[in-house]
A = this chain, B = another copy of it.
Amino acid sequence: MCEANVYWLNDDGSEELLLEDVDKVKPTENGIVLESIFSERKVVKASIKEMALVSHKILLERLAD
């Protein structure tokens, strides 16, 4: 399976796990919708910083409301 783990990139450069085993990533007006292979869903105000699919890693940056 080729799901990815999604992390927040914090201001200090550290990374913080947000959601594991993400299949779907969909930017919407309300934020980025993340959906895991276990149908766990989160909607976050964020922008995509970088995705490294072979490493199963997606980095997000927080957006102000």
Binding site for B on A (CB under 8 A): 1-4, 22-27, 37, 47-54, 56
Contact = CB atoms under 8 A, between A and B. Distances in A.
Contacts of A53: 2-4, 22-25, 53
A24 B27 CA distance: 18
5 contacts: A2-B54, A3-B53, A25-B53, A26-B50, A27-B48
A35 B53 CA distance: 10
Contact of A51 (B26, B37, B56): B26
A51 B60 CA distance: 14
Nearest to A25: B51
A44 to B, nearest CB: 14
